Amino acid sequence: MNYGPLIFLAAFFALASSWFGFVLAPQVQVGRLQQTNTLVLSLTYPTARPGLARQGLDVYRASGCAACHTQQVIQTNTVCQVFLTDAGTNQARIRALLENLAGSVEDEMILLIDHSKPILKDATPEGADDLVKALTAAGAKAYRENVALGPDIARGWGKRQSVADDFLYDYPVMLGSQRIGPDLAGVGARLPDENWHLRHLYAPKSVVPGSTMPPYRFLFERRKIEHGASPDAMAVEGDYEIVPATEARELAAYLTSLRADAPLFVAPLTVPPPPPSPATNTSQSSAGVTPGPGEATTNAAPK
């Protein structure tokens, strides 16, 4: 019996199933997405980069920046902490709850709690939510904050892990694979000054002592000063001025646009409520409006 056709069909089915599962299905699910979430004040994320920054992505790629920099913040864990924003009027109940956390607490000390510091740290989501609910039931106001952990977070490279949603408008995505230099996923948030990036591109060691980054002076023009330095001049060297070329400005615009720090469903961050007004009378505070994970966190992932 000739098994050739059966073997062919089996091989074809296996390859077709793999293609449908690994290529077609992801394309149908996320390939045409234009935005992921509605955030605070009805803003959407992500949005397309402005024209100059979009062109800067091409300069970033052509200059080989991805050979030394990544754009993927790694998060190893998440813990929760609880903040008390209003002690309310039921001092005895609040005291009992706080005594379970910190031992003896006097009534007058409840109103002196520093609301900028958590009353509970390193908690599980369940433990934090239980405390928030108990405080709410006692007439206080509190909220849970999600805290991302990991070496990249500790270095200040980002507030949360990088996810696919951050790169919906970027093509190609420049994730990188080596970290000879720092991760750049959130460089626009920690270094928002385009002039700083221009100086860094022209002479890296002038702004980062000991930097191993080579200077990208081919992105700048060195012009002889005729009738005074031009407004576009970044620096003056003797009788010459240093002027960023269009490519340098595009690259600087792209770098300052890298701000992958919006709270997402798959990578939640907590947006704290505004601090209480100094004129607020805590003795007349209303009970129980507690921004939990659905309010203080714009779109936290379900537990």
The answer to whether residue 303 sits within a structural domain is yes
- Tell me the residue range of the domain where 303 lies: 64-186+258-303
pLDDT above 90: residue 228:
no
How buried is 224 (Cβ within 10 angstroms: 0-12 exposed, 13-18 middle, 19+ buried)? exposed
Q: Does residue 46 sit within a domain? A: no
**Whether residue 58 has pLDDT greater than 90:** yes
Mean pLDDT is highest, among 55-69, 85-99, 267-281, for 55-69
206 falls within a domain: no
In a domain, 214, yes or no: no
In a domain, 203, yes or no: no
Residue 162 has pLDDT above 70, yes or no: yes
What pLDDT shows up at residue 101?
78
Structurally, the chain folds into a number of domains equal to: 1
What pLDDT digit, counting tens, does each position of 131-142 carry?
999 999 999 999
**Mean pLDDT score, 232-258:** 93
In a domain, 178, yes or no: yes
Mean pLDDT in the chain?
A: 82
Confidence label for 173 from pLDDT (cuts 50, 70 and 90): very high
48 found inside a domain:
no
What percentage of the chain reaches a pLDDT higher than 70? 79
Residue 42 has pLDDT above 70, yes or no: no
Lowest mean pLDDT among 97-106, 181-190, 213-222, 224-233: 97-106
Rounded Cα distance between 233 and 263, Å, is 39
**Domain assignment of residue 8, yes or no:** no
Query: What is the per-residue pLDDT across 186-218, written as a single tens digit (0 to 9) for each?
Result: 999 999 999 999 999 999 999 999 999 999 999
Higher per-residue pLDDT: 199 or 260: 199
